[in-house]
Amino acid sequence: MRRLNGAQIIISQLERQGIRIVAGIPGGANLPLYDALAASTTIRHVLARHEQGAGFIAQGMARSLGTPAVCFATSGPGATNILTALADAYLDSVPLVCITGQVPRALIGTDAFQEVDTYGMSMPITKHNYLVRSAADLLTIVPKAFRLAGSGRPGPVLIDVPKDVQTEVVEFEHWPEPYPVDTYQTDDPAPFETAAAMINQAARPILYLGGGVIHACASSEARKLAEQGGIPTVMTLMGLGILPTNHPLSLGMLGMHAARATNLAMEECDLLIAAGVRFDDRATGRISAFCPKAKVIHVDIDASEIDKLRTADAGITGDARHTLAELLLRVRRRNRQEWHGRIRQLQQDFPRFHGEDFAPGRPFHLIRRVAELAGPEALVSTDVGKHQMWVAQAYPFTSPRQLLTSGGLGTMGFGLPAAIGAALAFPERAVVCFSGDGSLQMNIQELATAVEQRAAVKIVVLNNRSLGLVRQQQRLFYEQHYFASSYGIAVDFAAIARGFGMLAFDLAGASNPDALLQEAMREPGPCLINVPIDIEEEVFPMVPPGAANITMIGGDHAKN
């Protein structure tokens, strides 16, 4: 007979789920949970400096590993602070289990100290959530949460545990059996036959791949389908790495900041094979004008996504890996030389890069140089802003789960804690965080966490002393009314990093910036590298918000 309190049940269940690292911050309402965690011999706790940082550290682990990760927060402000990380995980389908403390059951609804309705607030931004009413319920709730977070379309699950439930003692004989993993696939061959026939008949197909392919561990099948069918392939921001950047069939990222030739090719395609995508507006532009000549095959594990934004001529609800494997059995090997010739012509007419784009001191040069120094296996985290789009355009990605970035919510402050999580999950791999001066200041306190955890993250700050993408839109669409988008003081990020105990390098005014960059990238531990960037450097091409993807500004030159 086992006799454990609720907090001990939670920690034991986490151990049984194979969790080895938990990020969080203790507070009054979750102290019993931390007391139980202190007795664990297998789980390492990462003390974040802000609950949002804890949520993003967990995301960095979950995104890079592909399995659910765990974060803790206390009640009230702890819970509200972590909600942004949950919303971010929800929109990008990242598997998280977040466990929050709550005031005792008798105080719920009384406006007690540090009481908020965590359950109610989190409902729209979680895949599922629980308000635990008894310690005995934790025996099944915790494993259910992991199953829900990681199965089907992944997402965050929140467990809100009142303090007295954490201390309530339960006696039981056996741990519940693990819940089986849900499977989402059909054995009916008809949908696969229909889709394969459409692919075989198409003259100008394009494969459109998103983060769902990566979540399904289906990148290998997607690449084989592209190669077998001779199908040019585009990827969403969340799908980058499914095909290596240098793959002959890769057209790179589509959408708002794609190469002009990529969006023009999509305008001419006659079949769009969409897998693991949700037809997000940043990818499609004005949806009514997206791939107007194309029939659509849409593969998604979430049935609600089929026909939601673009009507599918053939919709397949199911696991992407299973579906693509079935298509591989039916799709004929094709060269499609005429279609490839047309795309090559578009790429020649509208080249993505020009020699001056890679001049020393410019963003693409820096990004490519960091990639060379970090190596092809490096994990890459970004914040949100110009640097994020420059990385998406220029970084030579080689594999799925290599890029960790906030796509759906676009959360500034994501990059640094996510990079810490990735470094904790893969201590043997290089980890680079590309950030901007605006984004870094959102969660700059996690520099202390990186130092404390010895997370070997190289933080490359592209510093233009502004909110770059905001300023760019003000320039292009608001008659250059630059308001609240430029900073009045120059922050010394290198000095701040040193104040947190981190090694720092500043390329501003360096006599040999490349040599200094090499020195920084060779450092075994965490370090920050400040890189000044011209405030006039813009992200081009760019589709104006709400416009069709073929309505692109710039693109022939990186600076216009």
3-class SS of residue 282: helix
Q: Counting every residue, how long is the chain?
A: 560
Helix axes 219-229, 320-328, angle to 10 degrees: 30
Q: Is the pLDDT of residue 559 over 70?
A: no
Confidence band (pLDDT; 50, 70, 90) for 560?
A: very low
> Residues 25, 78: contact at Cβ < 8 Å?
yes
Neighbours of 372 (CB within 10 A): 12
> Residues 400, 452: contact at Cβ < 8 Å?
no
Q: Is the pLDDT of residue 366 over 60?
A: yes
Q: Is the pLDDT of residue 558 over 70?
A: no
Per-residue pLDDT at 555: 58
Q: Where are the beta strands (DSSP E) in 28-82?
A: 44-47, 69-73
- Structure tokens, 449: 């966490």
β-strands 156-162, 96-102 pairing: parallel
CA distances from 111 to 103, 105, 118, 164 (A): 10, 12, 13, 17
Confidence band (pLDDT; 50, 70, 90) for 385?
A: very high
Given the structure tokens 């194309």, which residue do they identify?
294
CA distances from 498 to 43, 441, 503 (A): 30, 15, 6
Q: Is the pLDDT of residue 185 over 90?
A: no
Q: How far apart are CA 530 and CA 459, in angstroms?
A: 8
Q: Is the pLDDT of residue 138 over 80?
A: yes
User: Which of 23, 81, 30 is closest to 52 using CA atoms?
Assistant: 81
> Residues 529, 233: contact at Cβ < 8 Å?
no
At 17-74, the pLDDT tens digits run 999 999 999 999 999 999 999 999 999 999 999 999 999 999 999 999 999 999 999 9
3-class SS of residue 268: helix
Per-residue pLDDT at 556: 57
Q: How far apart are CA 119 and CA 539, in angstroms?
A: 40
Mean pLDDT of 118-144: 98
Confidence band (pLDDT; 50, 70, 90) for 182?
A: confident
15-39 burial string, b = 16+ CB within 10 Å, else e?
Answer: eebebbbbbbbbbebbbbbbbbbee
- Structure tokens, 342: 């047309």
Given the structure tokens 């406006």, which residue do they identify?
111
Q: How far apart are CA 14 and CA 43, in angstroms?
A: 8
Q: How far apart are CA 552 and CA 260, in angstroms?
A: 7
DSSP for 167-223? H-EEEESSPPPPPPPP------SHHHHHHHHHHHH-SSEEEEE-HHHHHTT-HHHHH
β-strands 379-382, 503-506 pairing: unpaired
Beta bridge partners of 491: none
Given the structure tokens 């820096």, which residue do they identify?
366
CATH architecture group of domain 190-349: 3-Layer(aba) Sandwich (3.40)
At 412-435, the pLDDT tens digits run 999 999 999 999 999 999 999 999
At 253-273, the pLDDT tens digits run 999 999 999 999 999 999 999
CA distances from 344 to 292, 349, 424, 542 (A): 21, 9, 42, 21
> Residues 559, 363: contact at Cβ < 8 Å?
no
CA distances from 255 to 133, 148, 262, 275, 415 (A): 46, 31, 9, 16, 22
β-strands 69-73, 96-102 pairing: parallel
Confidence band (pLDDT; 50, 70, 90) for 274?
A: very high
- In the chain, helix, strand, coil percent, each to 5? 40, 20, 40
Q: How far apart are CA 430 and CA 250, in angstroms?
A: 25
Can you give the residue ranges of every domain in the chain? Answer: 2-172, 190-349, 363-532
Q: How far apart are CA 500 and CA 497, in angstroms?
A: 5
Per-residue pLDDT at 241: 98
Confidence band (pLDDT; 50, 70, 90) for 180?
A: confident
> Residues 11, 34: contact at Cβ < 8 Å?
no
3-class SS of residue 342: helix
The mean pLDDT value of the chain amounts to: 96
Q: How far apart are CA 425 and CA 417, in angstroms?
A: 12
Q: Is the CATH code 3.40.50.300 the one for domain 2-172?
A: no
CATH architecture group of domain 363-532: 3-Layer(aba) Sandwich (3.40)
Q: Is the pLDDT of residue 500 over 90?
A: yes
> Residues 207, 273: contact at Cβ < 8 Å?
yes
Cα dihedral value 416, 471, 394, 233, nearest 10: 100
